[in-house]
């Protein structure tokens, strides 16, 4: 899979540090959780799809670590850093063994196939 990402040489040198450091604390927090836990769910409050995937995992007997960042009305810029890092456009983001599985629909399909 090749995902287009703007090459560093195509980003003006005056803003490279800003781009590189954009909310890196949230990315590092998720990376640390992924390194420490087999399954990690990244979500936000007020999002029913996040609640659904957590319920699916619980019903399947799969324990997970949950990280929550804001709501529809808060922390959207911080969550944007995660979308830019993963390339995944929505929440939840579900990781297993450091691999991004996708969101609720993808996890539901993996559980149905017993592939998670």
Encode pLDDT of 35-57 as tens digits. Answer: 999 999 999 999 999 999 999 99
The answer to whether 60 and 116 have CB atoms below 8 angstroms apart is yes
Report the distance separating Cα 81 and Cα 27, nearest Å: 7
> Percent of the chain at pLDDT above 70?
100
- 16-37 pLDDT, tens digit each: 999 999 999 999 999 999 999 9
Could you give the angle at which helices 24-36 and 76-86 cross, rounded to 10 degrees? Answer: 60
Give 9-112's CATH code, choosing from 1.10.1270.20, 3.40.50.150, 3.40.30.10, 2.170.120.40.
3.40.30.10
116: pLDDT strictly greater than 90: no
Whole-model pTM?
0.94
SS3 content of the chain, % helix, strand, coil (to 5): 45, 15, 35
């Amino acid at each position: 899979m090749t995902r287009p990402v703007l090459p560093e040489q195509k980003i003006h040198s005056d803003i490279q540090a800003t781009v590189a450091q954009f909310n890196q604390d949230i990315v590092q927090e998720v990376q640390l959780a992924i390194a420490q836990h087999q399954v990690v769910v990244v979500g936000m409050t007020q999002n029913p799809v996040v609640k659904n995937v957590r319920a699916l995992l619980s019903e399947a007997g799969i324990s997970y670590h949950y990280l929550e960042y804001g709501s529809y009305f808060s922390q959207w810029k911080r969550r944007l850093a995660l979308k830019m890092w993963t390339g995944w456009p929505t929440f939840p983001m579900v990781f297993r063994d450091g691999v991004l599985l996708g969101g609720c629909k993808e996890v539901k399909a993996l559980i149905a196939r017993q592939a998670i």
